[in-house]
Chain A
Amino acid sequence: MLPWRRQKKTAASSEGDLFDDEFQRKLEYLALVSRRVFAGRLRAERRTKKSGSGIEFADHREYQPGDDFRSLDWNVYQRFDRLLVRLYEEEEDLAIYLILDTSASMGERASIGAPTKLAYAKRVAAALAYVGLANLDRVTIVTTSDRVMERMPETRGKARIFKAFRFLRGLEAEGATDLGDAMKTFVAQNKRRGLAVLISDLYDPQGVERGVNVLRYAKFDTFIVHVVDPADGRPNLQGDVLVYDCETGDEREVTVTAKVLDRFAHAYAQYRGGVERFCATHQVAYVAAPIDVAFDELILRVFRRGGFLR
């Protein structure tokens, strides 16, 4: 890679204050909306998959010797003459991990003056963190590229959102993407299971699947926010160009024609379709986040998609 091809990305600094007053007002609105949707659960009312001592009925199972008699469902016994134990979901405050991809590809601009995916991802992360903090969940933000880079320690309480802002403000895009290795590190560092929200453009040469599977195997509830720049699918290129990968430095000579652009768009669509299919088949919550969509609208999409607020 020739030095003149490298240019330091200063996306965050050139985009002004990402978390201005307007942004914060929208966060309040989103928090209200989240409460209204899930009214009645005032604190840490997220259900875990563990059945336990909560009050929310979950299921029945056959009585086994040693079970607490108080849990027997006498109504069922009276009707069916079978001993069944009532199971309740255990209630606990949830750990939310916002995993933010800060690889170099997140800092690429489609054109001069265009927003970066990282800036958009930061605002999405901040919004989700705020909603989580407002729901008294434990929110942790980690950044990743080919490894876990930085970490905002676990915190809770709405007032700590400014800590999250400060953390997010300092992030810059650099490094290559390797979600597999990064998630292994993440899983090893975070023993407590919870909701892992991966905010990334998913440009992983090794494949997105490795990283997501690491989270799945480690019993994390995985939620993928796929940050998409529409210009990535239809790059503004023409003629003879030398394209190089901003992360790996991989170079290729291409003569760009309308036909080539069509084929590229097709390949891009295939790639995105592959990710979506993977998430659908593996029951991983997935939301595409085009950066030309307002972030608050995107957050509502996340809510509607479910999985983030339970």
Chain B
Amino acid sequence: MILAGLPLAELLAIFVAIGLGVGVLYVLKLRRRVVAVPFSILWARILRDKEATSLFSKLKRLLSLLLQLALLALLVLALGDPRAAASLVRGRTIVVLLDASASMQATDVAPDRLAAARDEVRKMIQGLGGSDRMLVAQMDAMVTPLGPMTGDTSALEREVAAVTATDTSADFPRALRFAADVLRDADRAEIIVVSDGALGPASDSSGAVHLGDVRVSYVRVGNGGRNVGITEFSVRRYPLDKSRYEVMLELTNPGSQPEDVELQLLGDGALVDLTKLRLQPGERLPRFYPQLSGASRTLEAKITRLDGTHDDLPADDHAYALLPERRRAKVLVVTDGNAYLEAALLLDEYLDVTQVPPAGYVAAVASHAWDAVVFDGVTPAEMPRANALYLDPRGPGSPVKVKEAIKSPGFDRLDRKHPAIRFTALDDVNIAAGHRLQPDDGDKVLGASSDGTVPILVAGTRGGYKFVALGFDVRDSDLPLRPAWPLFVIDCIDWFDDEDARYLSSFRTGEVWRIPVPGSVGQATVTLPGGAAQPVAVHEGRAVMLGERSGFYRLAYRFPDSGGPESGTTFAANLLDPAESAITPQDRLVVDGKDAGETSPFHLGVRREIWIYLLLAAALLTALEWATYHRRVTV
């Protein structure tokens, strides 16, 4: 037996000090109420009977004192936290990795796998030895320790009760590395993974996780169930007809039985399409919905069984997406007349085009704030305070230096990833003549002739405004006759306007999201799908957050010092992870080349913390003292 709390000397000092106090209080008698009686002989007579047993009376009073001293001894001993020496030596250091990924929401075990996992961990906590210590960490896209390494069972149980499942996949390698760090140099270290086993390999880009001598145990949760999940979901507007959009999604049946499901597509909450599908075992079924219209903002996909019930994992039965927001862009075209340009600009009905001759440019550019200015064969002396597309720029006002004329240039090299020329086929454009452009540092050459050595299409930024410069007159080429021409013009304007045609229709949960916000915004608030709001840090013009729930999010912010109304943006997030949709529990868990074994034994209800029993004994003695006092046994 050893004392884990106060040392013996201090305990003795406390006992002696308080014991003396108890003794003094015991010796001091309470002042009794004085009562006059007419004939005390009668009292003497009945007290004489008691005096016959005075020795017993004294013993009973002594018993009262002994009871109090025993009570004190128990309490003081409890302060010492006595423990069996054997249990201290055999103490384990345990990190429990409690899987809270999306697959743990599966309801193949009632009420769900996470609840079953919590029960398993609770059993372990209740079976902890007096000197065992445990740390419980929630394992999802992050690893979140729920408390310190402790032997306090009530604290551990509170931590376990607070775990909730997320719509993310588990980052198993990160969790293992965390556990290994925690258990470094610990005695009898053990990692217990409580999961359904859908964790992926125990390795990441840094390589396989090595745990050394740390024992890894695996507690399997789940019985296996049937599930069909939406594993891909994407939507985009057509570049040339932004009122229409197309949807691509994929359904996966990871189970071993065919599944009949009903797929609903909802636009702004209204049903857009309804399809009944049969998925064969292991089938991944892509679906493509072209030329859809009707929805202006939100799109949702839902699957249900044909009998109207949900499968065992509802989390992947619902996917969300947002269509890119449309707004009208004000475009100023400075030209003496270019039918090709006018035709191209007519294709996008969301463009508000104003055409002026070069002479009217100065007045026109000062009259409005323009989203884009197109200079067709005209180059002003100064760049406008707007984004600008220069077609065949000339003179000193050009954003890039216009060098020597070249004959029959071509797009030998193209930066196809740049948004200004996306979806365009410029390789075989025939050009009669043009000029070489000389980009500045930081400019991007989007197209170059002569094996890529002569830039003829350059993009960049001047004074905070974007520009694209095309080094030839389009009328000297067959470009206006090609589909690439209107695409090029609209791509350029979309790029200027930050309307990203590659708009991300939804984020994936479990990743760090970087949502663009206006540069002056320093603080934002995000409203989660459940309705809860939380502040989000803004870093370099982007709100940064880790998304754990699928659904629609609302990011709200205010411009500093503006005092104006709240602005914001809405975005969607989805699980879309075939690995999480495969909810069949894994029987084995391989870590560091070894199978995770059974947990070392936990004995339900066995507690080796003696101080608890000492307190119980003290409480019992108090009750005994109370009873004997009120029954006048010890007085």
For A241, give its contact among B35, B38, B39, B41 (CB under 8 Å): B35
Distance (whole angstroms) from the CB of B437 to the closest CB of chain A: 110
Instruction: Type the 1/0 row for B31-72, where 1 means its CB is closer than 8 Å to any CB of A.
Output: 011111111111111110100000000000000000000000
State whether A232 touches B38 (Cβ < 8 A). Answer: yes
Flag if B38 contacts A108 (CB, 8 Å): yes
Given contacts A244-B37, A245-B36, 16 further A-B contacts (CB under 8 A): A5-B34, A5-B36, A105-B38, A105-B39, A108-B38, A205-B41, A235-B37, A244-B35, A245-B41, A247-B38, A250-B44, A252-B40, A254-B47, A257-B632, A263-B46, A267-B45
20 contacts between A and B (CB under 8 A): A105-B38, A232-B38, A232-B39, A237-B35, A240-B32, A240-B33, A241-B35, A242-B35, A243-B37, A243-B40, A243-B43, A245-B36, A245-B40, A246-B36, A246-B37, A252-B43, A252-B47, A253-B32, A260-B46, A271-B42
**B38-A246 in contact (CB<8A):** yes
**Contact partners of B49 in chain A: CB under 8 A:** 263
> Chain A residue with minimal CB distance to B40?
A245
* Bound Cα distance A255, B630 (Å): 11
Also in contact, A267 and B35, with CB within 8 A (given A252-B47, A255-B632)? no
A239 near B: Cβ within 8 Å? yes
Q: Is the Cβ of A241 less than 8 Å from the Cβ of B34?
A: yes
Complex CA–CA separation, A232 to B42 (angstroms) = 10
Does residue B20 face the partner (Cβ distance < 8 Å to A)?
no
Q: Which residues of A contact B42 (CB under 8 A)?
A: 264, 267-268, 271
Question: Any chain B CB within 8 A of the CB of A303?
Answer: no
- Identify the B interface with A (CB < 8 A): 30, 32-47, 49, 632, 635
CB distance from A61 to the nearest CB of B (A): 48
- A259 surroundings in chain B (CB, below 8 A): 632
Tell me, yes or no, whether A248 is within 8 Å of chain B by CB. Answer: yes
B38 to chain A: which residues have CB within 8 Å?
A: 104-105, 108, 201, 203, 229, 232, 245-247
Are A241 and B45 touching (Cβ within 8 A)? no
User: Which partner residue on chain B sits nearest A245 by CB separation?
Assistant: B40
In the complex, the chain A residue whose C-beta lies closest to that of B33 is A241
Interface residues on A, range: 35 or more
Which residues of chain A come closer than 8 Å to B44, judged between CB atoms?
250, 252
Say whether B32 contacts A250, CB under 8 Å. no
> Across the interface, which residues of B come within 8 angstroms of A240, CB to CB?
30, 32-33, 635
A205-B41, A252-B44, A264-B43 as given contacts; A244 in contact with B34, CB under 8 Å: yes
A-chain residues with CB within 8 Å of residue B41 when the two chains form the complex = 203, 205, 245
In the bound assembly, the distance between CA atoms of A255 and B57 in angstroms comes to 13
Shortest CB-to-CB span from A208 to chain B, Å, is 12
B33 touches A239 (CB 8 A): yes
In the complex where A245-B40, A248-B40 touch, is A267 in contact with B34 (Cβ < 8 A)?
no
A240 to B582, CA, bound (A): 78
The A244-293 residues at the B interface (CB cut-off 8 A) are: 244-248, 250-255, 257, 259-260, 263-264, 267-268, 271
Closest partner residue, chain A, to B46 (CB atom): A263
Most chain B CB within a 10 A radius of its CB, from A245, A255, A259: A245
Least distance between B42 CB and chain A CB atoms (Å)? 5
Which residues of A203-233 are within 8 A (CB) of B?
203, 205, 229, 232
A201 to B49, CA, bound (A): 25
CB neighbours (8 Å) of B632 from chain A are 255, 257, 259
- Complexed CA–CA distance, A259 and B631 (Å): 10
A262 to B171, CA, bound (A): 80
Residues of B within 8 A of A232 (CB): 38-39
Report the Cα distance A30→B38, complex, angstroms.
31
- Which residues of chain B come closer than 8 Å to A104, judged between CB atoms? 38
State whether A108 and B33 are in contact (beta carbons under 8 Å apart), knowing that A252-B44, A264-B42, A267-B42 are contacts in the complex.
no
